[in-house]
Amino acid sequence: MICYHKNWAYFEDRFDVTCAEYVESKPGIAPTPGHVARLLQRMQADELNVLLAASYFDRDKVEAVARRGNAVLVQVPLSPGARDGIDDYLALVDVWVSELAAAFHSR
């Protein structure tokens, strides 16, 4: 799995999953074309075909990386209340897990 940003660290720790690489190698700094090119090569070589991103990132940019890397995009809210029906933290984590599971199963 590739993650757009390092904001998934707690999720990684809690559920023992790993973001093998990040689109933003430094939080808050846009990736360079060279970094994106290396990332896309790694996605292909290592079959990293799921991209996890928070919903507040520009969907067009996130989709472009997913499309070019032949990955399924999972773009989910990072906090409760950011999407209808996600009223608390447990509902939020349930959305993360279910959408990631669906993405991995589709591959």
List of domains in the chain: 2-106 (3.40.50.1980)
Q: How far apart are CA 40 and CA 37, in angstroms?
A: 5
**The pLDDT value given to residue 25:** 84
Write out pLDDT tens, residues 93-104.
999 999 999 999
**The pLDDT value given to residue 104:** 96
Q: Are 59 and 53 in contact (CB under 8 A)?
A: no
Write out pLDDT tens, residues 26-80.
888 889 999 999 999 999 999 999 999 999 999 999 999 999 999 999 999 999 9
User: Can you spell out the DSSP letters for 80-97?
Assistant: TTSSTT--SHHHHHHHHH
**The pLDDT value given to residue 60:** 95
Write out pLDDT tens, residues 29-42.
889 999 999 999 99
Query: Which helix or strand (DSSP H or E) is residue 75 part of?
Result: strand 72-76
What is the value of pTM for the model shown?
0.92
Whether residue 18 has pLDDT greater than 90 = yes
* Closest alpha carbon to 23 in 45, 12, 50: 50
